[in-house]
Amino acid sequence: MALKRFIIEGKVQGVGCRVGIETYCKQAELTGFVRNLNSGRVECQVDVKEDEIQSFVEFLSSGPSYSRVDRLMEVAPKETEIYNDFRILADGNDED
C-alpha cells in the first residue's frame, strides 16, 4: 500500500466532488479522507495499492460527476496515520 495525497483544483466545491470521491474509494475499498480547503480546492489522502494508483489518478483527473478538474497535484502526505475507512472530513485550511 502507498499513502498518496492530492490537491484538486477547478470546479470542485459545491458539485458533489467529495461525495463522488468517497463513493469511488468505498467501492474500491480504499481508506483515507477527502475535504474541502478554504482556498476552493479539495484535498484527498488515500492509502492505495500500487497497482491501483493509476486508475485512481485517472478517476481524480476526470473528476466525479459535475466537477471540473483543472489541475491535479500529487503532494507529500501530511501524516502517516493508518485509516480504517474512507471519510469526508470537515473543511480545512490549506496550511493544515
Catalytic machinery residues: 18, 36
Q: What is the DSSP string of 32-93?
A: EEEEEBTTS-EEEEEEE-GGGHHHHHHHHHH-STT-EEEEEEEE--S--PPPSSEEEPPPB-
